[in-house]
Structure 1
Amino acid sequence: MCGRADDNFGPPAWRTLGELFGPLGWEPEVKRDEVCPTDPIRFVRRATGGFDAPYGRWGLVPARMSLDEARRYATFNARVESLEDKPMFRAAFQSQRCVIPLAGFWEWPVRAGVKTRVRISRKDDKPLLVAGLWNRTVTPDGLLESCTIVTRPPTPDLGEVHDRMPALLLTKDIDAWLDAPPYQARTAALSSWQPRILTITPV
């Protein structure tokens, strides 16, 4: 599960994103400590000669579905185990995968009967690179681009935080997620991330 995130990157993250994807203007005009579903969020996809990184609605609007219809569904997360089974995500999983950079994400674990808020990020302040899907649809207001965060079961260090986590990618697995056949992409999303890279900070 990932229902709150932030893109308040610092210089180490900007450098890393530039090295990985090119000089695409990574320092935002507004740094947000909390990004919610339906807010604009940045995603990275293949483009001619490299990558581009537009902002899109966080909450996928599938092909042949209107924005009003999509609002009735929680399409901001997509379970990696069922991407090929869900009509909402099947087409995007085949050919429209992306990477969603995050500075961190938020969860609300319950410990000793008390709900606490925690921020999860990398210990080295580099960006989290999340497997995602994107789509482009036509609305009465024009073209709309949207995306969703792919989720997976948690690594052992996050097991007490939530029963799901974003499908985080190590840099070595970005190409597999973006370009490989679906079964290889799914394997990358399920196995890329390793424990002990993240830090959990109560807020």
Structure 2
Amino acid sequence: MCGRADDHFGPLGWQVLNGLFGYQGWELESMRDEVRPTDPIRFVRRTGAGFEAPFGRWGLVPPRMTLDEARKFATFNARIESLHEKPMFRAAFQAQRCVIPIAGFWEWPTSAGVKTKVRITRKDSKPLLVAGLWNCSQTPDGPLESCTIVTRPPTPDLIDVHDRMPALLLSRDIDAWLDAPPIRAREVALASWQPRILQVTPA
């Protein structure tokens, strides 16, 4: 599960993101230490030969569902194992995949009955690239962009932190996640990330 993230990238993070996706104005924003579901969050999608990175509501509003209806469901995470069959996520998995860059994410593991807050980041301070889905809904107030973070079982180094983790992508697998047929995209999202890249730091 991923229910708290942060987008406090810093200069190295901005440099990496600009190199991967082109200049998107990351540096002009105030970085947040905690981004919560329903907050706006950046997601990256294809546009022509390049990319664009709009803000979207963290919590997918599926096709043919209103925002009020979507609020009744926890659509901020989507399990990789069932994307192809869940009505809320199936259409976006087919054709509207994205990458959600975050600086880190937060979890609350329990050890000996005590819950602690930890932050999970890359050891080299580069951004985490999370497999995501997006949609744009028409509302009485205009178009509403929304997105969700795809989750997967944890790698061995995170088993003691939580039984789910974001489906993290290495940069070499971005194109496959965005463009490959759904079956191949799912394989990539499950296999891309490797242990020992992350660090877990107590808050």
SS for the counterpart of 1:36 is coil
Q: Number of aligned residue pairs: give it.
A: 203
Moved over 6 A (4+): none
Write the mapping of 1:39-78 to structure 2, written as runs, cut at 5 A: 39-78=39-78
Unaligned runs of 5+ in 2: none
TM-superposed deviation, 1:24: 1.1
Task: Report the 3-state secondary structure (helix = DSSP H, G, I; strand = E; otherwise coil) of the residue aligned with 1:34.
Answer: coil
Q: C-alpha separation between the residues in 1 aligned to 2:52 and 2:29?
A: 18
SS state at 1:88 partner:
coil
Match in the other structure for 2:173: 173
Normalized against structure 1, the TM-score is what?
0.99
Cross-structure match for 1:147: 147
Residue identity over aligned pairs, in percent, reads 76
User: Match of 1:164?
Assistant: 164
CA–CA separation in structure 2 for the residues paired with 1:19 and 1:141: 35
CA drift of 1:49 comes to 2.6
- Secondary structure of the residue that 1:27 maps to in structure 2? helix
Which residue of 1 is the match for residue 23 of structure 2? 23
SS in 1 for 2:26: coil
1: CA distance, partners of 2:83 / 2:46 = 20
Shift of 1:81: 0.3
Secondary structure of 1:125's counterpart equals coil
Structure 1 residues 184 and 23, CA gap change in structure 2 (3 angstroms): same
Distance in 2, matches of 1:146 and 1:44, equals: 12
Counterparts of 1:163 and 1:29 in 2: how far apart (Å)? 33
- Give the superposed CA RMSD: 0.6
Q: Please give the per-residue CA displacement for 1:22-70, whole angstroms capped at 9, x wherever unaligned.
A: 0111214211000000000000000023000000000000000000000
1:163 alignment partner, SS class: coil
Q: Unaligned stretches of 5+ in structure 1? A: none
